[in-house]
Amino acid sequence: MKLFILITSFALSISANSKINKNETKLETFKNSILDIKITSQSPNFIFPWQSKKPQTLDAIGIVVEENKILVLTSILEHHTSIEVKKQNGQILPAKIIKRDTESNLSLLEIEDKSFFSDLKAIQFENEFSPQGNLSVFELGDSGNIQIAKAYNTGIDQETYPISYTRLPYIKISSSEKMDGNGELLVEKNKAIGLLYRFTQNKNSGKAIPGFIINQFLNSKSKSSPFPFKGFKFKQVSDKATKEFYGLKESEEGVQVTEIFENSTSSGKIELNDIILEVGNQKIDSEGYFTHPKFGKQLFSLIIHSENHFGYKIGSLVPIKLIRNKKEIKLNLILKPFPFSSVKIPYANLQEEPKYLISGGFIFAEMSEFLLKEFGNSWRGRVDKKLLYLNDYQRYEKKKEKGKYILLIQVMPDISNNGYHNLSFDLVNTVDGKKIGSLEELNKAIENKKNKFLDIELDNAVNIILDKEKLPEINSRISQKFGLSELKNF
């Protein structure tokens, strides 16, 4: 009996040691590829756009890739003032951004001293991974040491990443362990398959950028985003009456086009109320899903937006089958990246400082979701309902509605603007009776010497009348009173 216990204990000891060694092998494989990235950032204050908020610091993870580059999440670099990279041996050097893509939420950093990489190892990301299965997540502990957490891959889904406009696939993970979502490395069977960009602790769930998206970013030599954007929005078509009205057979399924983005892949090709039946020779159902051979039911955006699965990339021709005016049509779309120029109200991908113009103490700015969010976590319940409607449903340009929305965000009190001090967050309707779509246009109207007065009509039926001849004196007084070195930024 004693001999049996000894043998059993010895066997268990060997088993435990082999598990430890297995983990050590994994750690050994990746420990010289993971770096500690310290970012100092200072976000702008959109209500007082000439000011910045308090500096903040963030620790994230960087991954060494080929050609002595460091892969990080773009979202952690927003409004950065400094980037420092730290190795496991304690060596710290500054880094700079050399490539930045908001759609994939990926950026590359470079360090001037190439000897920094002499003892580091580049990682190759895998395009293929299991639809479901166990994962190891490499993260940094509080002391900066590399730790391995356990997680489970529950499949893939699609969304817009934290600062993107293009819906892309992500790996869904679940884990009971604590994670930050700042670039932790996902490993399956000792192979790198993704980077964690979000983790919700109270739900034990996270989202990661898959390896095939990472490789599409790394392999691209283009300065613009390498990810195509389909260029339209849609809604489901499922009831019998709607199908009959648009000319679908009872057995057919498809989606209805509800919005087309100017200057996009679909502009000039797709029309409102087209019924999309097939994309890339894949049939789609009434909710916009198709059956992926590996990942099952997926939104058809995956066909266009992700090169790895069906081979479509920027410049590719994608076959589309649709119904228009009750007739079946086949056409090809030439894939383009997201048309950032069509955005009227920015809500993602903000790296530049906010634009503003101060004249006569009136502070004007271009409307953005970033500005509305200055009302705090409950901003949707605090802002004017019209602004909320525009932000939700009028974010993009249409053919007859070019340019941005201009807001009077507040008034800096002065004897010259008595009676207007309570105005805030009001839309500018017209300037001298004309619609304007930028701060540049407003500034030109102010500097126009033909008229003595400037008539600014707000959306609440209030008219602001400015005496242009007195503006230089007023602006000088405002600058001194409030300590402003610049009265405009655009």
Domains of the chain with bracketed CATH: 30-223 (2.40.10.120), 228-340 (2.30.42.10), 343-489 (3.20.190.20)
> CA-CA distances (angstroms) from residue 377 to 55, 194, 380?
20, 31, 8
**Residue in 302, 333, 329 with CA at minimum distance from that of residue 316:** 333
Q: Are strands 254-260 and 336-337 parallel, antiparallel or unpaired?
A: unpaired
In this structure, what are the phi and psi dihedrals at residue 396, rounded to the nearest 5 degrees? Answer: -120, 150
pLDDT at 141: 86
Query: What pLDDT shows up at residue 449?
Result: 84
Q: What is the pLDDT of residue 222?
A: 85
Per the document, the length of the chain is 490
AA letter at 3: L
For residues 425 and 86, what is the distance between their CA atoms, to the nearest angstrom? 44
Rounded average pLDDT over 369-390: 95
Q: Quick check: 280 and 189 in contact, CB under 8 A?
A: no
Query: Which pLDDT belongs to residue 351?
Result: 67
Residue 213, helix vs strand vs coil: helix
Place of tokens 């500054």: 94
412, 482 contact by CB (below 8 A): yes
Tokens of 344: 């009227």
Ordered DSSP codes for 33-49: TEEEEEEEE--B-SSST
**71 contacts 108 by C-beta, under 8 angstroms:** yes
| pLDDT exceeds 90 at position 376 | yes
Contact between 330 and 319 under an 8 Å Cβ cutoff? The reply is yes
DSSP strand pairing (34-41 vs 80-86): antiparallel
pLDDT band at 37 (very low <50, low <70, confident <90, very high): very high
pLDDT in tens, 387-442: 999 999 999 998 777 899 999 999 999 999 999 999 999 999 999 999 999 999 99
Residue type, 239: D
Task: Name every residue whose Cβ is closer than 8 Å to that of residue 17 and which is 6 or more positions away in sequence.
Answer: none
Q: Are 31 and 38 in contact (CB under 8 A)?
A: no
278 phi and psi angles, rounded to 5 deg: -140, 145
Q: How far apart are CA 199 and CA 201, in angstroms?
A: 6
For residue 476, the surrounding DSSP H or E stretch is helix 471-482
CA separation for the pair 397, 392 (Å, rounded) = 13
- Asked if residue 14 has pLDDT above 60, the reply is no
**What is the pLDDT, as a whole number, of residue 414?**
95
Check: CB of residue 468 under 8 Å from CB of residue 452: yes
Q: CA–CA separation, 39 vs 76, rounded Å?
A: 8
Judged against a pLDDT cut of 60, whether residue 110 lies above it is answered with yes
Distance of CA 454 to the CA centre of its chain: 39
Helix count and strand count (H, E) for the chain: 9, 30
Distance (Å, whole) CA 188 – CA 30: 12
Q: Which of 61, 203, 76, 68 is nearest to 145 (CA)?
A: 61
> Is 50 exceeded by the pLDDT of residue 2?
no
436/441 Cα distance (integer angstroms): 6
Residue 224 and residue 37: Cα distance in Å, rounded?
A: 25
> How many CB atoms are closer than 10 A to CB 105?
26
Which pLDDT score is estimated for 19? 39
Place of tokens 């991974």: 129
Residue 29: pLDDT band by 50, 70, 90 thresholds? confident
Q: How many CB atoms lie within 10 A of CB 485?
A: 6
Answer yes or no: are the C-beta atoms of 158 and 91 closer than 8 Å.
no
What is the distance between the alpha carbons of residues 195 and 185, in angstroms, rounded to a whole number? 5
What is the reported pLDDT for 11? 43
**Cα 469 from Cα 33, distance rounded (Å):** 64
Would you say residue 156 has pLDDT above 80? yes
> What local confidence, expressed as pLDDT, does residue 8 receive?
43
- pLDDT-derived band at 385 (thresholds 50, 70, 90) equals very high
Question: Residue 6: what pLDDT?
Answer: 42
pTM of the predicted protein model: 0.89
pLDDT at 353: 85
pLDDT of residue 27: 75
Q: Can you tell me the mean pLDDT for 1-25?
A: 42
* Interval 315-331 mean pLDDT: 96
pLDDT category at 261 given cuts 50, 70, 90 is very high
Rg of the chain over Cα atoms, rounded to whole angstroms, equals: 27
